[in-house]
Amino acid sequence: MTTHSTAVVMGASSGLGAAVARLLAARGWRVGIAARRAQALERVKSEFAPGQIEAEVIDVNDPSAPLRLNALIDRLGGIDLYFHSSGVGWQNQQLDAAVELSTVETNVAGFTRMVTAAFNRMVQDGRPGHIAVISSVAGTKGLGPAPAYSASKAFDSCYIQALEQLARMRRLPISFTDVRPGFVATPLLNGAPYPMLMDCGHAARCIVGAVLARRHVAVVDWRWRVLVALWRRMPRWLWRRLKISAAESR
């Protein structure tokens, strides 16, 4: 048995979002899945019994996205878990401003738009809730090959930490999980070789386990926990001399 019954997975059309949605549904949750691609959502929905999964087309960068999220929650009959897996990221060593701004739009503005909407809906409903987000190990330090991506993921982690403190200050029964995966084999990596690349299914199982355990921070997987611990201990003078390859981790 789980402590939740309904979940919304934002960014559930492919990759980790779709994998997490499938795992939750397989455990008996009613799941609302959301993303920009309607056909991909319908494919996930068709794998389960009628009524177990509800789908809604939502673009996190659309100002109307919170209204669509609330409509999806209404169809579910409430929300116990909001899982945010919607994000973008590219290497951008030429520092193309359009790439940087597009990354910030989705990973910062879009992220904030949806997480605050989920938070406020839980407050409005007056029921215990859980907000889990996928940030990245890339938010640990500033990565030269992907400046906006690593900075935006640091924002996501810091924002969730702030909301956790805010919820406690307001005595709200909302818990939080910051999931920080390393490189995961998803379509966004286009089959390119990356160090310590994880299978999507393995990463999703680790993530669901961390969420159900209500861990505050979960670095996925153990190899990345070791590497991140080393990163944190590196002085700035050494870090800026490193040559690091970075890319979208979902």
Catalytic residues: 149
Q: Where are the beta strands (DSSP E) in the chain?
A: 6-10, 30-35, 53-57, 81-84, 129-134, 174-181, 217-220
| Long-range CB contacts for residues 68-73, cutoff 8 Å, separation at least 24 | 68/34, 69/8, 69/10, 69/34, 69/114, 69/117, 69/118, 69/121, 70/117, 70/121, 72/8, 72/32, 72/34, 73/6, 73/8, 73/32, 73/121
